[in-house]
Amino acid sequence: MTQRTELEILLAVVDHGSFSAAARVLGYTPSAVGKRVHQLEQRLRVPLLIRSTRRMTLTEAGQRYVEEARVILARLTALEEDIADNAGNLHGTIRLTSSAALGQLHVVPLVIEFMELNPEVEIELLLTDKIVDLVGEGFDIAVRSGVLPDSSLVSRKLMNNRRFLCAAPAYLEQHGAPRQPEELAMHRCLRLGQENHLSDWGIMRSVGGLSRLGPGFSCNSFDAIHSACRAGRGIAWLPEFLTSHDLHTGRLLPVLPDLAEPSAGGGIFVLRPKMPFLPRRVRSLVDFLTDRFAGKATSHFAQS
């Protein structure tokens, strides 16, 4: 067995809690696993594990060794994947996550196109409006919209994420259009339930923002808010990637357009964990998404 195999065995023991559990995962016998860990400790001349009949814990030296071993193995694996990728066609699996509305409308078609161009690449896509821990849950990249928080992730901006106050013509005919921000308190307002920090709805700070919004409908899904808005149930603050066609065709009409803050919606970003070697398939998908979203920004979205 190589030193790399020793590291993999030790990590399996730590992750699965015992020699026998690690042996089942790795396909070795428990005695072989125990022997390799013992040989590693002899070579290092320090104990790495404290064994008892009920549990197995790391010593201080073992904790340090395991932490560094994880980094070394991750870098070695990424380097080997990068070298293998560069030797031929793109191949392997990419794990990707995106918010539901943005993902269904724009990410899914691009992912399908990318896989058609690279048939040996498999993509696992998770659509969720929850913020996913990319490192902890093993994702390669995420496509997210909004204001980018401070983060240890590497980000690339794909395009602006303009948002518009808008309503259906039927709603405005029945209730009238607000002329000042404070009049929104008297209207049915359709709100994304999780965006308390965006409650000013993109109104310019120079006009004082909003004191409050009128009661209406709250939901954690942009799709649901968009549907309610198109059905004439109230006024909503919606992203351009959902509303561009509606605004262009008149199915939705802008509200208070002269008071909108252009940068309030943030942007659309592709995010990935920091790593010393980025597999070529992941790098290629990031470049592909960047190119395609740039095309959307200058064509379809621009029509609105």
Boundaries of CATH 3.40.190.10 in the chain?
A: 92-160+266-303, 163-259
Q: How many CB atoms lie within 10 A of CB 145?
A: 25
Low-confidence ranges of the chain (pLDDT < 70): 1-3, 53, 82, 84-87, 149-150, 194-200, 205-211, 276, 297-304
pLDDT digits (tens, 9 = 90+) for 182-202: 888 899 999 887 554 445 687
Q: What is the CATH number of domain 163-259?
A: 3.40.190.10
Pairing of strands 154-160, 267-272: antiparallel
Strands (E), the chain: 49-51, 56-58, 92-98, 121-127, 141-146, 154-160, 163-167, 189-192, 217-219, 235-239, 253-254, 267-272
Give the pLDDT of residue 147: 75
Boundaries of CATH 1.10.10.10 in the chain?
A: 3-86
Give the pLDDT of residue 83: 74
The pTM of this model reads: 0.67
How far apart (Å, rounded) are the C-alpha atoms in residues 241 and 304? Answer: 10
pLDDT digits (tens, 9 = 90+) for 253-264: 999 988 887 777
Q: How many CB atoms lie within 10 A of CB 170?
A: 12
The SS3 assignment for 99 reads coil
Q: Distances from the Cα of 255 to the Cαs of 179, 186, 202, 206, 261, in angstroms?
A: 8, 14, 11, 18, 13
| CATH ID of 3-86, from 1.10.10.10, 2.40.37.10, 3.60.9.10, 1.20.1740.10 | 1.10.10.10
Structure tokens given for 164: 């518009």
Q: How many CB atoms lie within 10 A of CB 171?
A: 23
Statement: 92-160+266-303 belongs to CATH 3.40.190.10: yes
pLDDT digits (tens, 9 = 90+) for 23-79: 988 889 999 998 999 999 999 999 999 887 677 889 999 999 988 888 888 778 777
